[in-house]
Amino acid sequence: MGKLKRNERIAAIVKILSDNPNRIFTLSYFSDLFQSAKSTISEDIVVTKQAMEKANLAKIETMTGAAGGVKLIPITTAHQNKEILGEICSRLKDKDRILPGGFLYMIDVLYSPHIIHSVGEVFASQFDYKDVDYIVTVETKGIPIALMVAKAMNLPLIILRRENKVTEGSTVSINYVSGSSGKIQRMSLSRRAIKPGSKVIIIDDFMKAGGTAKGMIDMMKEFDAEVVGTGVLIATKEPEKKIVNDYIPLLILEEVKEEDEQINIYPNENLLNLI
Amino acid sequence: MGKLKRNERIAAIVKILSDNPNRIFTLSYFSDLFQSAKSTISEDIVVTKQAMEKANLAKIETMTGAAGGVKLIPITTAHQNKEILGEICSRLKDKDRILPGGFLYMIDVLYSPHIIHSVGEVFASQFDYKDVDYIVTVETKGIPIALMVAKAMNLPLIILRRENKVTEGSTVSINYVSGSSGKIQRMSLSRRAIKPGSKVIIIDDFMKAGGTAKGMIDMMKEFDAEVVGTGVLIATKEPEKKIVNDYIPLLILEEVKEEDEQINIYPNENLLNLI
């Protein structure tokens, strides 16, 4: 490429860092790419850092030493959480979403790239994932959200399946009891998907009693992996005591009243008061 | 936020545009955000455009008129395709991936946020999606790729399910014949998921005979929707004549030799020779 001016180099650096959150780029990488001295790149990165932090768009971490590098860490403020989660709530409160049995139609929200990109960044701001190896979810509705969390944290995604598949090689399967329906369900995962001794964060779209999350935790034990965090987009208020203890919901669904056509859903207050 | 300098405004603009590809931001949006004159923002955007295009990182489109706005369009060059697809091939060629029956273990690649983010941009560069309304896929392995394509194109994602779900309301189900196994399979979709008269692009991870893609095309007919493109990450070389005609594969899988432990997979040449 032609020689870039400072402004242009900064623009290019931001694009590359934004597309690859939590990935370390060395000064040499940029210095080769732009045919510029490392000292010049260092100055560009100082500006990038100031801009991202002044505008509350991300955190920029620089590492010194032989390697010397930089990475972008997605972060949302309490104010941004309020906006993101408020928008989702207002969309989900539409009474046309009420389905027979008091279920809520929400796949359009769960599969909207724009919305769940933000959800991924909200989750990334809630967990300490420094030592985490994988994001784990179970098919199907939670996959897009879990992928966006994995992308924000730069971690591989693991999807537990309902059935064994020939394309996964030898698998481990477990049965678990769905807490809300009491039905016995099954999940399976390829033996080679997770390295023993790993740490994982579980992400799902919805939690009622917590049976599915418990199933995932049990499955992780089969792989000698430790669950260090659980996040769900929506948790129901009742039952207040879930089968799992530690989990972070972004939204609380208190009630869907079929007769009155009312949906009572609101953001988890803990996320609106940080800093 | 505090007043940003030109450099910092450009950095912030690039971050916002990169996180929201194909989404139009008005000059007023940035002018309010940065408390700067629209003429100043216009100049910032000129620099942003030059930087993205000089460094082959994206296309920036500006729209004049009352609304007046800017959007970032992800684009990959033939050279970038070669690099991205070459890296995926070299990962998939590892003989340890060969499973009984000549299947390939590849979920770690299909679920790697970093890899499939690039795959999403490669697909976005291959299709004309100006008038497209949805990206459509079928659960499960293709979901992450389809989501990344949907994100790059700023389109909602539709996931066809294998079974009816209470959380989707009334559904349309069809049976289709899996081209390779000859087995009859089923897919279903919520009635309200797609507006009649829509245009869609189908994205999946793998195509052998094309039966699943044909099933998705048939399903779209039930919704009076038109399939204007089909993309798959990997298509097998044999059978050369698939059930569907028009599709864009990124990679061609020619052969998996179990005895010789050889995997013959390579990029679709058409993607390496553009411009």
Q: Tens of pLDDT along A137-169? A: 999 999 999 999 999 999 999 999 998 787 888
Q: What is the 3-state secondary structure (H, E, C) of B82-93?
A: HHHHHHHHHHHC
B177 in the same domain as B63: no
Residue B1 inside a domain? The answer is no
* Mutant choice from B73, B167, B188 vs A, greatest count of A C-beta within 10 A: B167
Shortest Cα–Cα distance, B21 to chain A (Å): 9
Residues A106 and A61 in one domain: no
CA angle, A179 as apex, A177 and A182 as ends, to 5°?
60
Q: Look up tokens 């996320």; give the residue.
A: A271
Average pLDDT of chain A to the nearest whole number? 94
Kindly calculate the radius of gyration of chain B based on its CA atoms and give it in whole angstroms: 21
Are A138 and A19 members of one domain?
no
Nearest CA to CA, how far is A111 from chain B (Å)? 6
Closest CA to B71 of B156, B14, B132: B14
pLDDT in tens, A117-130: 999 999 999 999 99
CA neighbours closer than 13 Å in the CB half-sphere of residue B60: 27
The answer to whether B53 and B61 are in contact (CB under 8 A) is no
Report whether pLDDT(B41) > 70.
yes
pLDDT band at A171 (very low <50, low <70, confident <90, very high): very high
* B49 in the same domain as B155: no
CATH code, domain with B47: 1.10.10.10
- The string of pLDDT tens digits covering residues A239-267 is 999 999 899 999 999 999 988 899 999 99
For A159, the domain range is: 78-271
- The single-letter DSSP state of residue A161 is B
DSSP state for residue A270 in the 8-state scheme: G
Q: CB within 8 A of B180, min separation 6: which ones?
A: B208, B209, B211
Look up the CATH number of the domain holding residue A136.
3.40.50.2020
**Which of A34, A57, A73 delimits the end of a domain?**
A73
Using an 8 Å CB-CB cutoff, list chain A residues near B15. Answer: 14, 18, 51-52, 55, 57-58
What single letter denotes the amino acid at residue B108? Answer: D
A18 touches chain B (CB under 8 A): yes
Within a domain: residue B153?
Answer: yes
State whether B124 and B233 are in the same domain.
yes
Residue A130: both structure tokens together: 């420094």
Q: Are residues A226 and A264 in the same domain?
A: yes
Residues 6+ apart with CB under 8 A from A209: A178, A179, A180, A239, A242, A243
Q: Are residues A131 and A61 in the same domain?
A: no
B112 and B37, same structural domain? no
Q: Say how far apart CA A155 and CA A130 lie, in whole Å.
A: 10
Q: How many domains does chain A have?
A: 2
- A153/A252 same-domain check: yes
**Residues A161 and A34 occupy one common structural domain:** no
Which among B47, B104, B193 has the least Cβ separation from residue A11?
B47
Per-residue pLDDT tens digits for A82-100: 999 999 999 999 999 999 8
With beta carbons under 8 A apart, name residues in chain B contacting A52: 11-12, 15
